[in-house]
Amino acid sequence: MECAGGCTGPLDTDCFACRNFNNSGSCMPQCPQPFIYNKHTFKLEPNPSAKYQYGSICVAQCPNNFVVDGSSCVSSCPPNKIEVEQGVKRCEPCGGLCPKVCKGIASGQTVDSQNIDSFINCTKIQGSLHFLVTGIQGDPFNNIPPLDPEKLKVFRTVREITDILDIQSWPGTLTDLSVFSNLTTIQGRTLYRGRHSKRGYSLLVMTIPSLTSLGLRSLRHINDGGVYITGNKKLCYHHTFNWTRLFITSSRPHHRQKNIKENRLEAKCVAEGKVCDPLCSSEGCWGPGPDQCLSCKNYSRGGTCVHRCRFLTGEGREFASPNRECMPCHSECEVQEDGPRAQEY
């Protein structure tokens, strides 16, 4: 049954060629698997004779230039897995979106309707992102149509930009930059330098009439370069926190330029009720609501500040981690209606 092209005898070693896999000269339907079932213990146990599928051959080890994925030697991991080094190179599940590095936009060019799809599922931008009027509103001279604001949602997966985030134009229907709500780090390896600027910038937001808040709720590090936020007549909340906290990785954070001017006056923002949510700490916020706080006054759950965790009431009881994050109790914990904490098992 396992022979292909004939044989010289009745054994699986007598085949001219194998229909499926060749295991040290024996034709087999599959290579020896990593685990075997122990009928006495009713458990899967490691198979000391396990081999990997390498083409039509069973091998004890994959070649150095291949990666182990389950019981096979593959040239690259599938989209839902990432290559890790654990003595041998293996494909492991990403546990979410797999890291994907994408090339940024060159200086003088812009994100537009023709290149926006190249950023789908990107987690890291190698370079810069520039948003100019010819990209947002379109460029008739080069036959480039306006950018659909919905398309900007592709940037929700971006966690790191190695150079510059430069926003000089933005759709009038959007009041914040929340498409970058998962951006944690701007490295500033290359900086934007104006004609009269001695120091460079790695975050620029200029003259966006519709902008009322920044909405960069996850941004924690600007590793080099300053911030240039100016001419945004409706922009509030930017004055609620100390920008130098984002420069903490710099040896001289106070020497980093903060050019923040000609935005909405703080007094007008306060009068209009554009202030941080009461659940935010005194460290400030990126915009309205309990999910825009730099840190929480009490507790947090899934990135949103809450008054308290569900210690004794509510669906799905919780406990507080050392950093005051509400975490779900184990499913085997007994629900307790009184007392300081859930009963432990």
Residue-by-residue DSSP string for 179-221: GGTT--EE--SS-B--TT-SS-EEEEEE--TT-S----TT--E
Where among 236, 271, 306 does a domain terminate? Answer: 271
Q: Are residues 72 and 207 in the same domain?
A: no
Does the pLDDT of residue 341 top 80, yes or no?
A: no
More reliable by pLDDT, 334 or 95: 95
CATH code for position 118: 3.80.20.20
Does the pLDDT of residue 260 top 80, yes or no?
A: yes
Residue 197, number of CB atoms within 10 A of its CB: 14
Q: Which domain holds residue 84?
A: 3-93
Q: Are residues 244 and 166 in the same domain?
A: yes
Does the pLDDT of residue 343 top 70, yes or no?
A: no
Structural domains in the chain (count): 3
Amino acid 95: pLDDT: 83
Nearest residue to 180 (alpha-carbon basis) of 207, 209, 211, 201: 211
Instruction: Give the Cα separation of 198 and 201 in Å (integer).
Output: 10
Q: Are residues 267 and 291 in the same domain?
A: no
Mean pLDDT calculated for residue range 252-260:
71
Does the pLDDT of residue 89 top 80, yes or no?
A: yes
Q: Are residues 109 and 256 in the same domain?
A: yes
Q: Are residues 25 and 128 in the same domain?
A: no
Q: Are residues 266 and 281 in the same domain?
A: no
Using pLDDT thresholds of 50, 70 and 90, give the confidence band for residue 51.
very high
Of 232-236, 280-284, 333-337, minimum mean pLDDT range: 333-337
Amino acid 344: pLDDT: 42
Q: Are residues 135 and 237 in the same domain?
A: yes
CATH code for position 22: 2.10.220.10
Share of the chain above pLDDT 90, in %: 80
Where among 214, 238, 271 does a domain terminate? Answer: 271
Instruction: Give the Cα separation of 296 and 325 in Å (integer).
Output: 10
Q: Which residues does 172 contact at the CB level (< 8 Å), separation at least 6?
A: 209, 210
Per-residue buried b or exposed e for 69-95, using 16+ beta carbons within 10 Å of the residue's own CB: bebebbeebeeebbeeeeeebbbeeee
Mean pLDDT calculated for residue range 201-206:
96
Where among 58, 93, 128 does a domain terminate? Answer: 93
More reliable by pLDDT, 330 or 327: 327
Instruction: Give the Cα separation of 294 and 215 in Å (integer).
Output: 11
Q: What is the mean pLDDT of the chain?
A: 91
Q: Are residues 228 and 264 in the same domain?
A: yes
Residue linked to tokens 């924690």: 220
Does the pLDDT of residue 196 top 60, yes or no?
A: no
Amino acid 198: pLDDT: 66
Mean pLDDT calculated for residue range 35-61:
95
Q: Are residues 320 and 192 in the same domain?
A: no
Using pLDDT thresholds of 50, 70 and 90, give the confidence band for residue 345.
very low
Side-chain-facing half-sphere of 234: CA atoms under 13 Å: 11
Structural contact between residues 6 and 13, judged by C-beta atoms closer than 8 angstroms:
no
Q: Are residues 112 and 216 in the same domain?
A: yes
Q: Are residues 45 and 136 in the same domain?
A: no
Q: Are residues 162 and 242 in the same domain?
A: yes
